[in-house]
A and B are shown apart, each in its own frame.
Chain A
Amino acid sequence: MNYEVTIGSTTFANPVLAASGTFGFGTQLAAVANRLGGVVTKAITLAPRQGNPPPRICEFPGGIINSVGLENPGLERFRTDVLPVVRRLKCRVVVNVAGFTPDEFRELVTGLNDDRVDAIELNVSCPNVNEGGAIFGQRPEMVEDITRGVRNATPKTLVVKLTANFVDPAETAKAAEAAGADAVTVINTLFGMAMDESGQPFLGARTGGISGPALKPFALYCVDRVASAVRIPVIGCGGIMSGKDAQDFLSAGARMVQVGTASLANPRAALAVWQQLQARCRLECVKAWDEVIGRARR
């Protein structure tokens, strides 16, 4: 079977990606990254960001809540310091970008016009910033605006990562599609909160984003919903821990999947997911991804 998948103008060796924010820039774990379809980098903003005060992570049965707050070196230092190391990766590199205005998104994407950047993922869904982020992602017209601006600024494969916080992702997915996106990632973390022993917010930033296996049933529902609303490919994300989980997302209509939180528990998790998915497909004698993708709706 040919394991390749194509999104926009980019062909990936297999459908498993490491999700943004849970794999650094792919450089710490290059040996794992190189065997995946690709890596989605930690989000890049125009200016450097130091991120939110600690604690930035807490755990609950079935998942975690994080509030990193887009800590990153900014576009310029990404180009000078990070990109040279990223160049050595042998897998596809999708750079996640987060702007605080539609213009910033355009500027970021223009600044990433480099051969090593295979695709761009627009982050209109970060739950851990006070402006932009999920606020953009809750408004279909804003998603359309940002996507159109970026579409006109780059020929690269364009993915829009959506939120399901207080918005129907089918609506924002349609907006992204109308503006020329090549795919949508469904979903980013959900808003969450935890209290400490004294009844105060546990996280330094008060609130965070929920991820991990607890998210999977809802994420699967969202993928099913979005995949029946748009024609562009859907990249499923949310609580994938195993090959079965990944296959469930394909069955719901996803063409690719992203493994996130699982990598925090085990740096080889995304690779294990890919190997298990492959084994399942062999066992089922699958000959092409299209046999699996969206079969839950046939």
Chain B
Amino acid sequence: MSPVTAPVVQARRLAAGVFSVWIRQAGLAQKSKPGQFLNVRVLDGLDALLRRPISIADKQGDRLRLVFRTVGRGTEWLSRRRAGDSLDILGPLGRPAPTPTGKDVFLVGGGIGAAPLLFLCRRLAARNRLQVFLGARDKGHLILRREFRDTGSPVRIATDDGSAGQRGMVTELAEPVVKQARSPVVYACGPKPMLAELSRCLDPIPVLGFVEERMGCGTGICYCCALERKAGGYIRFCQDGPVVLLNEVKL
């Protein structure tokens, strides 16, 4: 596995602190599947030794889209990339999201968590009955709504302040709908409290969650990205994730 160079073909801001970067890299794009992530080199020299894991939000031909939130110097550097710049990327890493076991698929995204679900939505739209639930703080923080709608799937919105869609939590919006389905398959991505609440309120319906944790190598060699299992011990989620059954892990 070798890092590759990928030119940025488009970069823009989606919301406060949220950015979208399209890269062109045929090899990477061909191999990438929903649920996987790219490990991106940031900053120059030895200032940031470790790469930054960024989930893949979309794919179009030989292009991949990264949608990320700035959380520190590394992601801020990444947010300043412009078309024509190049990125040093290792990937795709992680296990692809498992394919759904039933026809009724629900995608529940909170905030930046909408990003990896979009790639999955595109992949599943043709063969499944999909329903998308997106939550955000307010209308300004809602991302990728149009892209989800373009897949032809119904999209329902919840915001904390009611400035778009229903006022309240996205989990409250999704719960009754998911529970009506005969054999629902639920994928979710968002802040840990949201994932925990969704897993709790939908129990015993299993939720496949895209989780995030501090990571070292991304290739399974350093054992740093430990996610605690309810049954004891840890999973190395760069290998066994990032998509995990939420009722099996401690969030």
Closest CB-CB distance, A240 to chain B, in whole Å? Answer: 13
A116 contact set on B, CB distance < 8 A = none
Q: How many A-B pairs with Cβ below 8 Å?
A: 101
A148: CB under 8 A from chain B?
no
Known: A63-B49, A66-B222, A266-B90. A50 touches B234 (CB 8 A): yes
B49 contact set on A, CB distance < 8 A = 59, 62-64, 212-213, 261, 264-265
Closest CB-CB distance, A91 to chain B, in whole Å? Answer: 15
A22: CB under 8 A from chain B?
yes
| Assembled-state Cα–Cα distance A266/B39 (Å) | 10
Looking at A23-31, A223-231, A273-281, the stretch in contact with chain B turns out to be: A23-31
| Assembled-state Cα–Cα distance A23/B219 (Å) | 9
Residue of B nearest to A72 (CB): B223
A263: CB under 8 A from chain B?
yes
| Assembled-state Cα–Cα distance A56/B48 (Å) | 17
Asked if B221 and A28 sit within 8 Å, CB to CB, the answer is yes
Asked if B221 and A267 sit within 8 Å, CB to CB, the answer is yes
> Chain B 179-218 against A: per-residue CB contact (8 Å), 1 yes, 0 no?
0000000000000000000000000000000000111110
Residue of A nearest to B229 (CB): A50
Residue of A nearest to B237 (CB): A54
A interface: dominant SS: loop
Asked if A29 and B221 sit within 8 Å, CB to CB, the answer is yes
A244: CB under 8 A from chain B?
no
| Assembled-state Cα–Cα distance A181/B9 (Å) | 56
A264 contact set on B, CB distance < 8 A = 49-50, 216-217, 221-222
B47 contact set on A, CB distance < 8 A = 61
Asked if A54 and B46 sit within 8 Å, CB to CB, the answer is no
Q: For window 225-251 of chain B, which residues contact chain A by CB distance below 8 Å?
A: 225-228, 232-234
Q: For window 42-70 of chain A, which residues contact chain B by CB distance below 8 Å?
A: 42, 50-59, 61-64, 66, 68
Residue of B nearest to A52 (CB): B226
B168 contact set on A, CB distance < 8 A = none
| Assembled-state Cα–Cα distance A56/B232 (Å) | 17
Report the count of interface residues on B (CB-CB < 8 A): 29
Known: A59-B49, A61-B46, A61-B47. A51 touches B217 (CB 8 A): no
A282: CB under 8 A from chain B?
no
| Assembled-state Cα–Cα distance A91/B204 (Å) | 48
Residue of A nearest to B239 (CB): A28
Closest CB-CB distance, B182 to chain A, in whole Å? Answer: 37
B48 contact set on A, CB distance < 8 A = 59
> Chain B 1-41 against A: per-residue CB contact (8 Å), 1 yes, 0 no?
11100000000000000000000000000000000000001
Asked if A58 and B214 sit within 8 Å, CB to CB, the answer is yes
A55 contact set on B, CB distance < 8 A = 213-214, 224
Closest CB-CB distance, B93 to chain A, in whole Å? Answer: 10
B50 contact set on A, CB distance < 8 A = 57, 59, 64, 264-265
Cross-chain contact of B214 among A29, A57, A212, A213 (Cβ < 8 A): A57
Closest CB-CB distance, A139 to chain B, in whole Å? Answer: 28
Known: A22-B222, A68-B222, A212-B49. A53 touches B228 (CB 8 A): yes
A192: CB under 8 A from chain B?
no
Known: A58-B214, A59-B50. A266 touches B3 (CB 8 A): yes
A8 contact set on B, CB distance < 8 A = none
| Assembled-state Cα–Cα distance A205/B216 (Å) | 16
Closest CB-CB distance, B124 to chain A, in whole Å? Answer: 29
Cross-chain contact of A51 among B214, B219, B220, B234 (Cβ < 8 A): B234
Asked if A54 and B222 sit within 8 Å, CB to CB, the answer is no
Beyond A54-B213, A56-B223, A266-B90, 13 additional contacts (C-beta under 8 Å) are A42-B223, A50-B233, A56-B224, A57-B222, A58-B214, A68-B224, A71-B234, A212-B46, A261-B49, A263-B221, A264-B221, A264-B222, A267-B217
Between A and B, 27 residue pairs with Cβ closer than 8 Å are: A21-B223, A22-B222, A24-B220, A24-B222, A29-B219, A29-B221, A50-B232, A50-B233, A50-B234, A51-B226, A53-B228, A57-B216, A57-B224, A59-B50, A62-B46, A64-B50, A64-B216, A68-B224, A71-B234, A263-B217, A264-B50, A265-B51, A265-B217, A266-B90, A267-B90, A267-B221, A268-B2
On B, residues with C-beta under 8 Å from A are 1-3, 41, 46-51, 90, 213-217, 219-228, 232-234
